Structure 1
Amino acid sequence: MEHRVVLVTGGSSGIGKSIGIYLKSKGFKVYGTTRRLDSHPNFTDFELLELDVRNPESIGFAIARLMEREGRLDVLINNAGIGITGPIEETPHSEILKAFDTNFNGPIHMSKAVLPHMRRQEKGLIINITSIAGYMGLPYRGFYSASKGALELVTEALRMEVKGFGVNITNLAPGDFATNIASGRYHAPILSDSPYKEPYGNTLKMMNEHVDSGKDPMLVAQMVFKIINTKNPKVHYKVGEFMQKFSLFLKKILPDKVYEKLLMNHYKL
């Protein structure tokens, strides 16, 4: 039996690296992506391709190379993403565009690049790694929530458009996991004269603590493996702490203002 071929964007670190290592251990032929190959000269866990999800030309070149070598692609995992924090009022618009370019436009560029191949194969799976934060507008993380929430919605539409071609698409929303996302995240500066100085500073500290104490990203990898081996994947999956997943249930059943109050109490606002 031939190995199934998997491509994981943002595969050089964090959740993407864990997914790649786990799937390789299960017999998959794994390719990861990174924006700069020369930044990872000693990476040996699986093969990396140089690819920038913000650049369709870069994507086209990498996908062509992969198809030349393997002849097919069974699973695309759109994992590459960046964090962004800050008061809505004070976050530079250029940084907002960068976040959406990676977190929203990137998976769309990737999906457009691989769908012709998956249609030809009459099978394929795309897993978009979103976030539990994408289900709610979180204070000082509004643009991150918005970019991931937008991806959740466009995935709902896209999966209906391509289902007739034998292609499945689903969302997987992780909670907080112990990765290096905080170090690569854009933080709007805490301005000494800002009216948001104290609440934003406290919230930022809390966010970083959640990541530092997060669960093992291998749990996300195990969920990815489960989805790959599911004949008809669901529209949405979540993985993370019980209370983070439970918060989504509360959002469904509680009045908006009650849920808002819970969030404000949690963040001490």
Structure 2
Amino acid sequence: MSKVVLITGGSSGIGKSIGEFLVKKGFTVYGTSRTPANYKDSQFPILALDVKKTETISKTVNTILEKEKRLDVVINNAGAGITGPIEEIPEAEIKANFDTNFFGPINVIKAVLPQMRTQNSGLIINITSIAGYMGLPYRGVYSASKGALELLTEAFRMEIKDFNIKMTNVAPGDFATNIAAGRYHAPLLDDSPYKKPYGDTLNLMNEHVDNGSDPNLMAKAIFKVIQSKNPKVHYKVGEFLQKFSIVLKRILPSKVYEKMLMNHYKI
């Protein structure tokens, strides 16, 4: 029987690559977007869903269940970037980012758990970020939202183990996607004390995305996770140095690691 997969944010970038790869492997895939009409040429159905609006989540989940009668894999991929000096990012933008990157996945998980419990099976994959393992300058809000989702997954796994439902984190590094275009950028203010270091860091971040890895690497990694009988708590996908940075944080003194990050970002 073909597994039924729901991918939030499946219309572009990593989500689209995952969906197209899984379709080729014989999975029944549904993606989501806030504007599905813009993706009529998708290789799999794109349904209307905004992770910040619980009614759209319920409607989409019910639509899939009415047609497929089951839901085997849910990939919480929808996310939003945000950059800027924390002091200068409006509170509303910080809350909006957490609504998408943290509370959004929680709402999706709550919507699908009853069905997975009924099936006595299911897998939930939360797409986090290597940035969620460390507080990065001028990406602090993003790091915090993804780091919070990592920890939430650790707790969730223990709470749902009796229902034969699996959950895991997959943390990508920099991939060549259009995430930078949709990211909230705090404006570069002429009178800001952060103008030069923030501007330099912003250029460096955009360069990393432009030169990022092929999103198909994420698709292949997700496929392996789905095939695993007992998924790990955490997976990291990206270039060696990005993954190794997590190891370094674990073994280096905090101030040494901080200095290393500051040297990298030239601040």
TM over 0.5: yes
Structure 2 letter corresponding to 1:208: N
Within the candidate set 152, 157, 160, 1:159 is matched to 157
Deviation at 1:153? 0.3
Query: How far apart, in 1, do the equivalents of 2:72 and 2:126 lie?
Result: 14
Within the candidate set 36, 47, 50, 1:49 is matched to 47
Post-superposition, which runs of at least 4 consecutive aligned residues in structure 1 deviate over 4 A? none
Query: How far apart, in 2, do the equivalents of 1:239 and 1:60 lie?
Result: 30
Counterpart of 1:26 in structure 2 is 25
3-state DSSP class of the match of 2:180?
Answer: helix
Any idea what the Cα deviations from partners look like across 1:118-141, whole Å, max 9, x if unmatched?
000000000000000000000000
Within the candidate set 173, 178, 196, 2:176 is matched to 178
Q: Which runs of 5+ in 1 are unaligned?
A: none
Counterpart of 2:225 in structure 1 is 227
Counterpart of 1:123 in structure 2 is 121
RMSD: 0.5
Counterpart of 2:210 in structure 1 is 212
Counterpart of 2:38 in structure 1 is 39
Any idea what the Cα deviations from partners look like across 1:134-189, whole Å, max 9, x if unmatched?
00000000000000000000000001000110000000000000000000000000
**1:93-104 map, 5 Å:** 93-104=91-102
- Paired residues of 2:82 and 2:185 also in contact (CA < 8 A): yes
Counterpart of 2:6 in structure 1 is 7
Deviation at 1:38? 2.1
Structure 2 letter corresponding to 1:95: E
How many matched pairs?
A: 267
TM-score, normalisation: structure 2: 0.99
Q: Which runs of 5+ in 2 are unaligned?
A: none
Deviation at 1:28? 0.2
Deviation at 1:89? 0.4
Query: How far apart, in 1, do the equivalents of 2:137 and 2:198 lie?
Result: 8
3-state DSSP class of the match of 2:150?
Answer: helix
Deviation at 1:36? 1.4
TM-score, normalisation: structure 1: 0.99
